[in-house]
Amino acid sequence: MINFTFGPAALFALGSGACFWPAEALLCVSDLHFGKSERLARRGGSLLPPYETRSTLEKLDLDLERTGAKRVICLGDSFDDIAAAGSLDETCRLWLMRLMAGREWIWVEGNHDPGPIDLGGSHRANFLLGGLVFRHEGGGEGFEVSGHFHPKASLPGRGPKPCFLLGQSRLILPAYGTYTGGLRAQDPVFDALIGPSGRAIVTGAKPLMIPRPR
């Protein structure tokens, strides 16, 4: 993991793509996209092995165990659509509910899952805590933590990997879900959101902070 200061907060970027805030015992993840394979099959798209939800839950379970987080914020697009939330198999539903038990769990609304889901927790358009604002898509005011864009960056000799993007007042998390594409960190959309002096934290077993690719 890599520690960094963002506004008033001392945060850690985990190699998994999660962000941990020790002072608030908070784990933040974005774009889980549970049920993507089911949604693609339902809508006549590509047929993918239906294991992404379990793979993402395994990763989330491990991060919660490692950090001891008591509060979780999911930054939107937690499900690939509303129907996918209702199509979780019973094993995954019980697994997720076990992870939620005893924790404050905040579902921030995304563009894929704008409505409430029948799993408990609280549902917010955005969430303010300790001087940070958590929302799905960046572009607002304050020290903002967001997701939505699934940023990716490449290291020399390696293909693109999910990455955090860190600017002066914006932190964009990578997609945490197993079946998610991504937008290259040098894409012009990040010029306004992150700026030329931004940094990228490339995920993996040994996360690495680099200047944002240009």
Biggest distance spanned by C-alpha atoms of the chain:
46
**Which residues, other chains included, contact 160 with Cβ-Cβ below 8 Å and sequence gap of 6+?**
152, 153, 154, 182, 184
Q: In terms of residue numbers, what domain contains 128?
A: 2-211
Q: How confident is the model at residue 197 (pLDDT cuts 50, 70, 90)?
A: confident
The answer, yes or no, to whether residue 40 has pLDDT greater than 50, is: no
Looking at the structure of the chain, the number of domains it has is: 1
Which of 19-24's residues contact partners 24+ apart within 8 Å by CB, and which partners? 19/145, 19/164, 19/171, 19/173, 20/63, 20/67, 20/69, 21/130, 22/67, 23/130, 24/71, 24/129, 24/130
Q: What does the pLDDT average to over 10-27?
A: 98
The enclosing domain of 147 has a CATH number of 3.60.21
**Which residues, other chains included, contact 191 with Cβ-Cβ below 8 Å and sequence gap of 6+?**
none
**Which residues, other chains included, contact 111 with Cβ-Cβ below 8 Å and sequence gap of 6+?**
76, 77, 136, 137, 148
Percentage of residues of the chain with pLDDT beyond 70? 85
The pLDDT tens digits for 55-71 are 899 999 999 999 999 99
